[in-house]
Amino acid sequence: MNQEPRLFPAPACLLCGTSIEAAGGRRLYASQSRGVTLAPGPPREETPTRRVRSEPFAADSTLRINVWGEPDRFDDAVFERARALFDQGVAPWFCQACGDRTCDVCGAPLLRPHGYDFIEDDGSTKHVAPLGGVTGCSNRECVNCKLPGGQ
């Protein structure tokens, strides 16, 4: 197997344990600063602000489990939870609150989590380019809302 497998998303956020229904927003799985993947190739480079742990998925596999992010949040326990989820055949993800993609005013998920890859219900993945500008809040009561019918 030389490509990333298509997996359905795990039932809850890898970091806080919240379901997507409760958290709202998108299921994030990768950005430049933090992420969790099952993919071929070498691990990401570690930096002073980004811890990286990467191990082969199985002895005969070209896939690696890669977990990277802030050292105080993406620790060995998070890696082991990610491994257990991949072993169960589901894709780990984290909510927008844990991925720091929430509104500065009200804390609701942003409409477009710039700079992130996310996973849909059917296991397909999408990318939101890291473009500048205000992405808009998903909370219709918030002054930053960009939805029709919002403030």
Q: Is residue 125 part of a domain?
A: no
Q: Is residue 109 part of a domain?
A: no
Tell me how far apart the 2 most distant CA atoms of the chain are, in Å.
55
Q: What is the pLDDT of residues 32-78, one digit of tens each?
A: 999 999 999 877 788 888 899 999 998 888 899 999 999 999 999 99
H/E element holding 23? helix 20-23
Q: Is residue 18 part of a domain?
A: yes
- Per-position b or e across 86-108, b if 16+ CB within 10 A of its CB: beeebbbbbbbbbbebbbeeeeb
- Give 142's pLDDT tier (boundaries 50, 70, 90): very high
Q: Is residue 142 part of a domain?
A: no
Q: Is residue 3 part of a domain?
A: no
Structure tokens at 80: 């082991």
Q: Is residue 119 part of a domain?
A: no
Residue 38 belongs to domain spanning: 8-99
Q: How many domains does the chain have?
A: 1
Q: What is the DSSP letter of 56?
A: E
